Amino acid sequence: MPSDATVAVSQDGLTTLLHGLLPNGPISKSSEVEWELFSASYDVSIAVSGGSIQLNDLAQVIRFLDINVAGHAHAEAACDLGKILPHLCIPPVQICTPGFFGRKFCTPQYCPTWPSVSIPITIPLDINVSADFNLNVVEDGSNFNIVLGVIPSSLVIDATPMAGLILQAVKDYLHPIFAEIPHIISKVIDDLVHTAISAFDDAAKNLAILIRTLLHDLILGSDLLAPSAGITLLSFSKTQVLIPSDGTPANPDVSITLTKLKVNIADGELVATADIA
C-alpha cells in the first residue's frame, strides 16, 4: 500500500535547496586574545558558496561537499618589543675624539627604547570545506519540519599554513623598524628580526590555531551549519488546504491533515512520507 502522501527530492534538487540555505553575502566574526608577551585582535570575514550533494543511504547522511569559503582573516598582533628584544646602545662601541680641549673624549651612546608595535596581518582565505548532515523530523506547532543537523566532527577545513604567513607578516613589519636605527648593520638587523620571530613563534602558532577555530566556528555558526539548532530544509504544514474558502460561510476551506511525517534517504533521494488523518 503506498503512503498517503510522498515527496521525494533528488540529489540535484537537494543541491538547489541547500544552495538556497547558504548565507547570503559575507559573514564575519571577531575575537581577541592575550598572552604574557603578546596580544592580538583578529577577525575572519568570508563568503560561502557552491558545493554539491552526496547522499549516503546506509548512514542516512547527506554530505555537502566542497563548499567554497573565500575571504580573509585579519589580525593585529601587539607586543612591547622592549620585553622581547635585548637592550641596545648605539654606536655599539663608543666613538672617541682626541681633540676635545686636548683630551680624548668619547661621546655618549644612545640607547633607543624599543616601541610597542601593533602588527597588521592579513591572510587570504580560499578553501573548500565539506560537512555531513543527519536528518530529523521536528514538530513545531503547526508544521512538520525536516531539519538538517550538521555533524560537527565532519566539518573538515583544509586551511592554508597560517602560522608561516603570520610570521612572515611580522618579519616584514619589523625589518624596516630595525633598519631605521643608525649603526645597525644588516647582520644585526637580521639578528633582531630573528630574536623577535623566535619570541613570536609560539604566539604565531597559537594565533593560527585561534584563527582556524574562529573560521570553524564562523562556518559552523552560519545558519546552515549551526550544530545546535539545525536548519529547516523542508516544512510541511500539518493542515493542507486543498480548496480555499471563497470567504462565505457556506464554502469554508477544504483541507487534509498530516498526522505523521517520516523522512529517509533511499536510492539516492530524500524521501518524505506522510500519513493523513
Partner 1 sequence: MGLTNGHAAFASLSASAINRFIYNLAKARPRYFRFASGSPPSYLGPFEHVPALHLPGASGGGVDYILEITLPQLDLYPGSGSQQLPAPLTLGPNQFSITTGLTICIAKDYKIVGHKVVPVEDCATLNIWAVGELSTSDPHNVQLDLGAHADNIILKNVGDLESIGENLSLILVNALLQKMTYPVKKQALGALTFSVADGPRIEDQQIKAWGDLS
Partner 2 sequence: MDFINSRHLTDRDGFVQVFSEADHYIYYVTTAPEGYPPRHEDSFQLTVKPSDAAKESGKQHDVRVVWDTGQACYKASPAKLEIHQHDFVVWHCERSQGLPAYSVRGQGKAGSFSSSSFGPEAAFTHFFFAPGQYRYQVNGKGSYLIDVLDHRTIEEKAYSARVSNPPMVYVRQGRPTPDALEIVTGQTVIWVAEGESGVMIAVPLQPEAQIAPQTTQRVVPPRAT
Residues interacting with partner 2, by CB under 8 A?
89-91, 95, 97, 99-113, 176, 179-180, 182-183, 185-186
Task: Provide the minimum distance between the beta carbon of 171 and partner 2 in the complex, in angstroms, as a whole number.
Answer: 15
CB 17 to partner 1: min, Å: 7
**CA distance linking residue 75 with residue 211, whole number of Å:** 9
By CB under 8 A, residue 21 contacts partner 1 = no
Distance CA(256)–CA(194), nearest Å, equals 75
CB of 20 to partner 1, least distance (A): 9
What minimum distance in Å lies between the beta carbon of 164 and partner 2?
A: 23
Nearer to partner 1, 192 or 258 (CB): 258
Q: Binder to partner 1 among 3, 41, 109, 154 (CB under 8 A)?
A: 3
Taking CA atoms, 85 is separated from 92, 150, 169, in Å, by 16, 47, 18
CB distance 46 to 218 below 8 Å: yes
Query: 239-243 and 254-266: which strand pairing?
Result: antiparallel
Measured from the CB atom, the residue of 91 and 252 that comes closer to partner 1 is 252
CB-based contacts of 16, cutoff 8 Å, min separation 6: none
Q: Facing residues of 110 across strands?
A: 90
Nearest to 56 by CA among 131, 144, 158: 131
Measured from the CB atom, is 147 or 163 closer to partner 1? 147
Distance of CA 76 to the CA centre of its chain: 17
Output 103 or 228, the one with its CB closest to partner 2. Answer: 103
Nearer to partner 2, 184 or 214 (CB): 184
Residues 243-272, mask of contacts with partner 1 (x by CB under 8 A): x------xxxxxxx-x-------xxxx-xx
Q: What, of partner 2, partner 1, none, does residue 267 touch, CB below 5 to 8 Å by kind?
A: partner 1
Of 59, 54, 66, give the one whose Cα is nearest residue 268: 54
